[in-house]
Chain A
Amino acid sequence: MRRVLTLITCAALPVPAAAQTPPAFAEETASAGIAATFAGEWEEMVGGGVATFDCTGDGKDEVLIAGGVNPATFWRNDSPTGGPLAFSAMDAGLGLTKVAGAYPLDIDSDGVMDLVLLRVGENVVMRGLGDCRFERANEAWGFDGGDGWSTAFAAMWETGADFPTLAIGNYIDRAEEAFPWGSCTDNWLHRGGAAGFAAPLPLTPSFCTLSMLFTDWNRSGRPSLRVSNDREYYKGGQEQLWDIAPGTAPRLYTEAEGWARLRIWGMGIASHDVNGDGYPDYFLTSMADSKLQTLKPDAKGPAYADVAWVNGVTAHRPYTGDDLRPSTGWHAQFEDVNNDGLADLFVAKGNVWEMPDFAMADPDNLLVAGGPDGKFVEMGGVSGVGSVAAGRGAALSDFDLDGRIDLIVVNRNSPAQVWRNVTPDAGGWVQLRLAQAAPNLDGIGAWIEVRTRDRVQRREITSGGGHVSGSLGWWHFGLGAADAAEVRVIWPDGIASDWSGITPNARYVLDRAAGVVAWSVD
């Protein structure tokens, strides 16, 4: 069922009215005060995530950086509006070791952000206490953290549940030394109930997952679970799509339904309606063969076309330097970094660990939409974000609330880096948050639509994906030169709000009860 989908069937990418605006970023790692390193050896060859969320109430995202063998570090955002970026280390009760990644989520719908920490060892859910203080809540919420090597996360609220359903992806059996291949451990589905979580349900078969995302791929109103798996370790595996209906056992979509067998080094999922057909498209990071998948026209099921090449986003080898060996992609995320109304694509890159077949100096990508023929154009180098450190997780967030998306990247065995977006000729923008009654205060699973004169932008509100990195804050839309826009929300239960007019270059809370409410720092 495709209940609320309107218009647009074109397959070609949208083309902006004006030429591309080159984004510009200034690295402010040292001056911003962030000094954190995700470190370790074999058990830290994957992972290295970051979570961004606001826990001070000033609208600016704080940062939690996974440390691997080092303790995770929390950084309060002290940046003045409009920069420069400034962060302060703070003891938030989150300094656990062996943290691979983290995702923010208001699990108990109390209006205070909580966190899920993915670890090599026991996973931990951390309840927010307010003022950026957290405490362990595994026992209080009946969350069985297990003892695995957790490397992926996704969350949604199933109909009728007060607590979210959490999917956690797991990697290799770390006890295996000489023959670890084929030892992928079970992924887990922690289904939410009235006051906590049920015992984890194994998502069998599991294939060494490095990214997961609950996403409503067919706009049915019920998200499915997309799972990206690392072919390095599975046997008989492939990419997966689980149909997860309330009260029933999860089931895999099949080849007969259109789900084609795809086997890649799946490491990260980024989702966005890139081609404007109303359905989410998926960028999957891999090693030399990243994919951009769009739902095939007239597909009766989850049948996707790989359009990475035709859209210029293969990102298959370094674009700078003389190291021409293939690239290794990790975190990927769509955000409009130059505010031209088209989502751009950031990809963190980095060699797994001294793999001679792959590039060692592997710059992160910033693929800017709206180039000639509608293709993305590589601007990682010219924009200043083309770090050749061994990138892993990342987050794009407007840390200084100037309407331009900034960037933080976690590197393996070298310091995390942060950049401020200083694009001089960026377009207009709007930043939005959702608010509805409990449960699911932040409207995970909703769709936000922003309409300007010539087109509608859509984004699905998700929790998960990327590479062990998640953000929950403002939802950003570039508006280009538009002097007015309208917004509406299609809430997780399928009910659509009315269109409401908004003024560009401002922030709003889209409150299900109160309507569109302007927000300001003061």
Chain B
Amino acid sequence: MGFMRRVAVLALVAVIGGAGAGAAQSAIPPEQVVRTWYRLVLELVRHTPTMSPPVASRSMGYIGVAAYESVATGSAGMTSLAGQVNGLTALPQREPGAAYDEAVVLHAVLSGAVADHFGNTGPTGQRAMAAMTEKFGAKVAAGVSEDVIARSRSYGQAVAAHVYAWSQTDGGAVIDNMGFPLDHTPASGPQNWVPTSLVRQQQAPLLPHWGSNRPFAMPHGAACPLPPPPDYSEDPASQFYREAMEVVTAKAGLTDEQKTIARFWSDDPMLSPTPPGHWISIALQILEKDAAGVERHVDVLARLGMALSDAFIGCWQAKFEYDLLRPVTYIRRVIDPKWEPLLITPPFPEYPSGHSTQSGAAATVLTALFGGGYAFDDATHVDDGLAPRSFASFWDAAEEAGVSRLYGGIHFRAAIDRGLDQGRCIGAHVNALKTVAP
């Protein structure tokens, strides 16, 4: 038995030890159940049109909490998030003294939660979820006694149902027209956002009311405010103009490395797991490398998922408070009518940068979990032909994600720097939660 396998088995025994000695257990380690379902989640995010980055982050938050709670109720060392995060009431409890199989519980809770959040996916996603639920479920349950399977499955489904019911009251449960309002009256100031896309659906901004959703850990969407962007001005001596010229200059002199950075972090909806999925992918890679057990898996994924979701709420609250135009609009109006950014400009206001806010939040949470100097490689986009990148720390990665948007020509400097600051504030709310005892 190799070291990693021994660690997994020991972790499994630790989790289930008090929950029914003597019962046959799944041959699939529970953390492998988590990893397998998250692999599917990242694919479903990419292939479900509803899953714009804010919506994807919300799903990652709830799925993370569901998985965490299903494990926490069977572990003396884990604290429930009920009563800590906004609106979550006490979870269903396990039968005292009864045997549960953690892998079967996790399979049940994750199959339920994933189905809840990806009901809008297409026929291939539906087929994949069905295959995972049935075929992978059969593997997970192999060798486990029928009564334990039934009890574990029922319990996992109950946790999933409880978390799903909670999610329905947060303001983000219903997404019409992929998040683009059918009617939208834009503000008329020269500083205000105007559509930049040739796609007709994207003539209204994405999810203008997302900032009023109920967050997980921070008290409300405006809990981490940031100063206003530089005053709009077309004066070449102004700060605003200078920031626009920085974007123009950067684009004109982009190195191959900077182009790679821009594309590595671009994480476009429907073409990637989206920005929050990218950070989940980073966490999964690290957890695998560390041969982490199931408690660590669900703790990290729940905390990171909540932080990412709260980051999009906070960021969107600010985006629609300031309603700032994109660089392509300003630059074509004031500096160069034929200017083209490297990346496709997203269809919503500029300030602050969503990539920056969510990356700042992710770095804050992951730094608390793994340490400030944790170096790692990120192979998220290998299948898309983008080579892995190496980072000295989570903040190293977050700062690169932020500046990638300047290289891409879709954000000004202020949106990046202050977005990272906002993320730091949002992540701190998640770090204050009590989960796994040290």
Q: Is the CB of B200 within 8 A of A324?
A: no
Q: Is the CB of A181 within 8 A of B123?
A: no
**Chain B residue with Cβ nearest A324:** B182
Distance in angstroms between the alpha carbons of A354 and B119 in the assembled complex: 11
A189-217 vs B: 1/0 string, CB under 8 Å? 00000000000000000000000000000
**Neighbouring A residues of B128 by C-beta, 8 Å:** 177-180
Residue A519 at the chain B interface, CB threshold 8 Å? no
Residue B209 at the chain A interface, CB threshold 8 Å? no
Q: How many of chain B's residues touch chain A, expressed as a range?
A: 20 to 34
Q: Distance (Å) between the CB of B40 and the closest chain A CB? A: 7
Contact of A309 among B46, B178, B200 (CB under 8 A): B200
**Neighbouring A residues of B122 by C-beta, 8 Å:** 232, 352-353, 355
**Chain B residue with Cβ nearest A314:** B200
B113-126 vs A: 1/0 string, CB under 8 Å? 00000011011101
Q: Distance (Å) between the CB of B217 and the closest chain A CB? A: 29
**Neighbouring A residues of B131 by C-beta, 8 Å:** 177-178
Q: Is the CB of B201 within 8 A of A232?
A: no
Contact of A181 among B43, B49, B198 (CB under 8 A): B43
**Chain B residue with Cβ nearest A263:** B271
Q: Is the CB of A178 within 8 A of B123?
A: no
Residue A250 at the chain B interface, CB threshold 8 Å? no
**Chain B residue with Cβ nearest A315:** B200
| Residues 475 to 503 of chain A near chain B (Cβ within 8 Å) | none
Q: Distance (Å) between the CB of A16 and the closest chain B CB? A: 26
Given contacts A177-B128, A179-B128, A324-B177, contact A357 B120 (CB under 8 A): yes
Q: Distance (Å) between the CB of B326 and the closest chain A CB? A: 18
Q: Is the CB of A357 within 8 A of B49?
A: yes
Contact of A232 among B119, B124, B135, B182 (CB under 8 A): B124
B370-383 vs A: 1/0 string, CB under 8 Å? 00000000000001
Number of A-B pairs, beta carbon distance below 8 Å: 85
Distance in angstroms between the alpha carbons of A358 and B39 in the assembled complex: 25
Distance in angstroms between the alpha carbons of A446 and B122 in the assembled complex: 41
**Chain A residue with Cβ nearest B129:** A178
Q: Is the CB of B177 within 8 A of A178?
A: no
Q: Distance (Å) between the CB of B183 and the closest chain A CB? A: 11
Q: Distance (Å) between the CB of B381 and the closest chain A CB? A: 8
Q: Is the CB of B120 within 8 A of A177?
A: no
Contact of A357 among B39, B136, B178 (CB under 8 A): B178
| Residues 35 to 78 of chain B near chain A (Cβ within 8 Å) | 39-40, 43, 46-50
**Neighbouring A residues of B383 by C-beta, 8 Å:** 182, 235-236
Residue B226 at the chain A interface, CB threshold 8 Å? no
**Neighbouring B residues of A354 by C-beta, 8 Å:** 123, 126
Given contacts A42-B123, A353-B122, contact A181 B50 (CB under 8 A): no
Distance in angstroms between the alpha carbons of A81 and B43 in the assembled complex: 54
Distance in angstroms between the alpha carbons of A355 and B178 in the assembled complex: 12
**Neighbouring A residues of B146 by C-beta, 8 Å:** none
Q: Is the CB of B124 within 8 A of A180?
A: yes
Q: Distance (Å) between the CB of B388 and the closest chain A CB? A: 14
Residue B95 at the chain A interface, CB threshold 8 Å? no
Q: A179-B128, A181-B43, A182-B383 are in contact. List 15 more A-B contacts (CB 8 A).
A: A177-B128, A181-B46, A236-B384, A316-B199, A317-B201, A324-B177, A326-B177, A352-B122, A354-B123, A355-B49, A355-B123, A356-B120, A357-B48, A357-B50, A357-B178
Going nearest first, the 10 A-B pairs with the smallest beta carbon separation are A236-B385, A353-B123, A177-B131, A236-B384, A357-B49, A316-B200, A235-B383, A178-B131, A289-B199, A356-B120
Can you name 9 A-B residue pairings with CB atoms under 8 Å?
Answer: A45-B123, A181-B46, A181-B47, A182-B383, A235-B384, A314-B199, A314-B200, A317-B201, A355-B122
Binding site for B on A (CB under 8 A): 42, 45, 172, 177-182, 231-233, 235-236, 263, 287-289, 306, 308-309, 314, 316-317, 324-326, 352-358
